[in-house]
Chain A
Amino acid sequence: MAGGKNKDGTRAARIIDENLKLVYSDLVQEDLPDRFKDLLALLKAQDAETSHDEDKKGRK
């Protein structure tokens, strides 16, 4: 392997992809800001409210 000629820069491509994976997995492992959990909770609460309103309308 060492010193051997590489076809079409495959060695470079391999190093690049390894680094891409490292960088990306670091980003994935970052702590998720609380705002997203809050947002999902809010969306869920809004939906519950809407369906509750619809139930009321349905009963009228």
Chain B
Amino acid sequence: MSEPDPRDGLVDHLPALRAFALSLTRNGATADDMVQDTVVKAWTNIDKFKPGTNMRAWLFTILRNTYYSSRRKLNREVADVDGVFAGSVSVKPDHDGRMQLADFKKAFETLPDEQREALVLVGAAGFTYEEAAETCGVAIGTIKSRANRGRARLAELLELEDGGVTELTDNATMAVVAGSPEVNR
């Protein structure tokens, strides 16, 4: 019996890898090129993958390095965003009765690369802070602060801050104080 070839496992990670690429590049064509480059690099450098370790994290690392080095090469300050991320899926009904998913995606696209990346890894892809830090080659604290800044910015853009709640409470309190069962204005 020969050792199982870790390259046989590559295909299982492609949907997640592509989702990560789409959230990072926000451009369908660029994302698919990044995934293609990543697959070729992973295939030819499979000897650098340690069997038994997290292959998904390894692939994500290759993809993000590919992305950042190509952006550096192109010296692009502004990414070529084609709205594929915001436009790729149909609009869902109100979530939690508060916001449209489309609004969320639009707001998410405006975040800096580092914040989107941190949020996708820890908020959506199920990476631990430790795994995300290793994938991005930074300290755990850096990932935490990027994710927190991203969440704070999204809360601001989507008007999710607790300010709105406080205001309602105040109106209700005022109504009680005024002895009126209704909240006018």
Residues in chain A near residue B119, CB distance under 8 A:
16, 20
Asked whether, in the complex, the Cβ of A6 is within 8 Å of the Cβ of B165, the reply is: yes
Q: Is A43 an interface residue (CB 8 A)?
A: yes
Residues of B in contact with A, size category: 35 or more
Q: Cβ of A21 < 8 Å from any Cβ of B?
A: yes
State whether A35 touches B165 (Cβ < 8 A).
no
Q: B57 an interface residue at 8 Å Cβ cutoff?
A: no
- Main SS of chain B's interface residues? helix
Number of inter-chain CB pairs below 8 Å: 116
Chain B residue nearest to A10 in the complex (CB): B162
B151 — which chain A residues lie within 8 A by C-beta?
9, 12-13, 16-17
Chain A residues near B124: list those with CB within 8 A: 17, 20-21, 23-25
Pair A18/B165 contact, Cβ less than 8 Å:
no
Residue B169 CB within 8 A of the other chain: yes
Q: Find chain B residues with CB under 8 A from A43 CB.
A: 7, 39-40, 43
